Structure 1
Amino acid sequence: MPMKRKRVLWIDDEVEYLRSHIMFLETRGYAVTPVFSGDDGLYQLQKGEDRYDIVLLDEQMPGKDGLTVLVEIKELYPDLPVVMVTKSEEEELMEKAIGRNIDGYLTKPVNPSQVLLVCKNLLNSGEYVSKQAKTLFVKSYSDIQTSLNRSLGYKEWVKLYHSLIKREMSLSDIDDESIRQGHHGQFNDANKKFGDWLISVYPKWVEESVARPTMCHDILKKFIIPEISSGRPIAFLVLDSLRMDQYITIQRIIKRNFQVNNYFYYSLIPTAKEIALSSLLTGALPRDIKKEHESLWSVVEQGGTVWEELVKIGLEPSDIPHEKRTFYDFSAGAIDIDSIASSIVRDGCVPTIHADFLQLFAGFDSSAALGEMAANGTAFREMLESWFRGSRLYELLRRLSSEEVTVILTCSSGNILSTRGTEYYGQDQKIYSGRFRYGESVSCDERFGYHLTEPERFGLPVRSDSTLYISLKENYYFTEHASYQEYNRHYKNSFERGGVSMDEVILPLSVLKPKVLDLDLDF
């Protein structure tokens, strides 16, 4: 089987004079795409038809200069090697390029051998990249294991989770199944320890008796209400069931249109939609929602949707009129993007826009189950990125940016790929996911699920003294003895929420400020 040719994007307004260089590279096994401007180069990178391995970038070009294009490339693709090719040998220019994370530097005139050498040095061979990645994996594994042997607080758990995600996203450079298994084993061990720790400290967070992280019911007070008070147009975008690594993947694209400030917070447990989303939209714990709005909570318990009513309740502390606290279900079908944008800018509405992120993504290619794609994390993220570029969700974000609307983007819970089943027993209520059950006398094997026997200590409502909540550990999903095959077919290798894992609990939140175009052109 022939080796895959490395793809080179060469951006130079005088690229027609570099034909001999291009031919030289192509005879050495490289595929070169020449373009004449920075905008053309960015278009080639973003259209997604070809994935480039390296960029050769001229420094002096009409329109956007090389340094400007370099910054935009690194915002979108921070790991893509970029080599600056310039006529200037000024030290100041080199320092600026280095400060913008340039990977290589060539001074014109360059000969073809120089270009070939810098490409080889940066791209290396697959064996070298794999060896380097293995070395980094061993160090990462040791560092994380040391952390897991210590007592960690909520900030340390976030850092550890980020380290695991970063390593997860770099596994594409390692063609070694034993290392992949080592990574997944350590990730699973970390989730075990995280779950046990969280269950032990969570009631204290609910009681406010110890320092705690920002949680679902804090988001309105800490982010939404202050932004409304600033007088700037704002939209609240809730992409439910969005995991941190999945958000990192699409954020690279979002950065084209927004300046991004990232934060983290903790979901509620159980991380089921009805529990976490209700809290996010109202700014209250579920037990308090039930006490104050029992009829609405009763609808939630029956699987009904009262999100619009909950949004209006949550925005009571603001001075936004009742009728301007709007709610859109982006997953429900055709949503008029123009109508949303104009309602914000023209009418002063504050919309909450909700979508089940994975449901939207699954609709992109219904012939392929998400679980099947997820078995290969790299391929899954590549498909996710490709889908998002052409999605109506990104169309909405682009429109909001063009109208200079600030967007608060988050989710109420993440998701985890569920691969192992465990039976539950007893009579459960209607609201549950593949990883959550509640009701009177429900039960499961305690090795695989947390039994929340005192729900109010966890901020949860109760129907009777025997009400019990169960939230699963690690990557388990529920099965039922009488319908084992059906449950297995539905939940095995599917993305689920409702349990206790870092993937479901530690959540991203971003404040997206529109990028304003600079129209002061220098002629």
Structure 2
Amino acid sequence: VDIVNDYVLPALQEENTPVFFFVIDCLRFDQWLVMEKLLADDFKIDKTFYYGILPSATSYSRNSLFAGLYPSEIEQYYPDLWYGNDEDENSMNKYEKDLLQLQLERKRINLRNELKFVKVIDPEYGRNFEHNIRSYRNTHLTAVVINFLDMIAHGRSDSDLLKEIAPDEPAYRSLTNSWFSHSYLITTFKAIAAMGKAKVIITTDHGSIRALRGAKVLGDREASSNLRFKYGRNLKVDDKHAVFIKDPADYKLPRRGVTVNYIIAKEDYYFVYPTDYHKYLSYYKDTFQHGGISLEEMIVPVITMEPK
């Protein structure tokens, strides 16, 4: 919630310096440490950490990151920008540029020129952005969302080949290293370094956890389908496996109705309904998930880089 205020806004005060704000979806801190080594020759790198918000899911955390507000505050002040179905991350995150623009206006930040907002959803789009990166050197603030790591995390759930390539955390870091070292993103960063004068801020909305233990959950048919957090009526789960949120306002979450509660999975648990329990227990075991409470999901790196 404070990252734009604490890191991006101060960078904007520097004269004639383009600021690039990268949000790499689903970036774990250990993955960043792997990526950082490949940039050390080109940039002076400073890193710190924040706690992300709960639930550690894109539809909540990324909107809050750009808005500089908690989910309940976004719903309160900008209901038109919060409305949507958060089963679908695309529909819930289509107003990110608007939320960032509104935060800049609230903080009375006057950009030298128009805010540029780029969302990279596939490698081809990423390569186009990389080819055009020099055209952004006079833009005061360019915000960039990179979705690829989130796609790796979700893709591993459905791909036996990816599971074989990345069977555990060290292999997952190795896969990240392999992707980054050959990606449009590293060449984009190197092109920014070649500009000489620029500031790059990198962060994420949440990390991910390797889900290994199932937690049986009861709820009505209207309950959300997420594996690491749910909201709905009459939700029941063992409190050893999850945090039960009776009053969403305590966690600055939207109320969604008088009788609607939230549950958020702890540690490496994932929620499974009793129907076809063993089928789904097996299907989702050993997949990378997010939305819950764990250090891997909630410790958010914030990196500031300047060309050497």
TM range (shorter): 0.7 to 0.9
Q: CA deviation at 1:369?
A: 4.7
What does residue 178 of structure 2 align with? 386
Q: CA deviation at 1:262?
A: 0.8
Instruction: Tell me the SS of whatever aligns to 2:193.
Output: helix
Listed as ranges, the gaps of 5+ residues in structure 1 are 1-216, 516-523
Aligned letter for 2:118? Y
**Alignment check: 8 A CA contact 1:264 1:506 kept:** yes
What does residue 169 of structure 2 align with? 377
Distance across 1 between alignment mates of 2:169 and 2:256 = 41
Q: Which residue, 59, 76, 98 being the options, matches 1:309?
A: 98
What does residue 286 of structure 1 align with? 71
Q: CA deviation at 1:315?
A: 2.5
Q: CA deviation at 1:407?
A: 1.0
**Alignment check: 8 A CA contact 2:134 2:191 kept:** no
**Alignment check: 8 A CA contact 1:416 1:496 kept:** yes
Distance across 2 between alignment mates of 1:401 and 1:262 = 17
Q: CA deviation at 1:415?
A: 0.8
Alignment of 1:459-474 (within 5 A): 459-474=252-267
Instruction: Tell me the SS of whatever aligns to 1:421.
Output: strand
> 1:52-99 deviations in whole A, cap 9, x for unaligned?
xxxxxxxxxxxxxxxxxxxxxxxxxxxxxxxxxxxxxxxxxxxxxxxx
What does residue 480 of structure 1 align with? 273
What does residue 55 of structure 1 align with? none
Q: CA deviation at 1:261?
A: 0.3
**Alignment check: 8 A CA contact 1:438 1:469 kept:** yes
Query: Aligned-residue CA RMSD in angstroms?
Result: 2.6
What does residue 443 of structure 1 align with? 236
Q: CA deviation at 1:410?
A: 0.8
Q: CA deviation at 1:461?
A: 1.3
Q: Cα 1:435–1:340, aligned 2, differ >3 Å: closer, same or farther?
A: farther
1:256 paired with 2:45, answer: no
Instruction: Tell me the SS of whatever aligns to 1:337.
Output: helix
What does residue 116 of structure 2 align with? 326
**Alignment check: 8 A CA contact 1:418 1:492 kept:** yes
Higher mean Cα deviation, 496-505 or 328-337?
Answer: 328-337
Aligned letter for 1:228? L
What does residue 402 of structure 1 align with? 194
Distance across 2 between alignment mates of 1:445 and 1:319 = 50
Structure number with higher helix proportion: 1
Q: Which residue, 11, 16, 28 being the options, matches 1:243?
A: 28
1:299 paired with 2:299, answer: no
What does residue 501 of structure 1 align with? 294
**Alignment check: 8 A CA contact 1:362 1:369 kept:** no
Distance across 2 between alignment mates of 1:364 and 1:441 = 32
> 1:204-248 deviations in whole A, cap 9, x for unaligned?
xxxxxxxxxxxxx11111001111121311111111211111111
Aligned letter for 1:382? S
Distance across 1 between alignment mates of 2:11 and 2:212 = 41
**Alignment check: 8 A CA contact 1:429 1:437 kept:** no
Distance across 2 between alignment mates of 1:381 and 1:338 = 24
Higher mean Cα deviation, 506-515 or 379-388?
Answer: 379-388
Q: CA deviation at 1:431?
A: 6.3
Q: CA deviation at 1:384?
A: 2.4
Alignment of 1:108-119 (within 5 A): none
Larger Rg: 1
What does residue 9 of structure 2 align with? 225
Distance across 1 between alignment mates of 2:19 and 2:163 = 35
Distance across 2 between alignment mates of 1:308 and 1:264 = 24
Distance across 2 between alignment mates of 1:377 and 1:443 = 31
> 1:283-309 deviations in whole A, cap 9, x for unaligned?
011111000111211126463132222
Distance across 1 between alignment mates of 2:242 and 2:161 = 26
What is the TM-score normalised by the length of structure 2?
0.86
1:421 paired with 2:211, answer: no
Q: How many residues align?
A: 297
Aligned letter for 1:496? Q
Of structures 1 and 2, the one scoring higher in RCO (CA 8 A, sep 6+) is 2
Give the % identical residues. Answer: 27
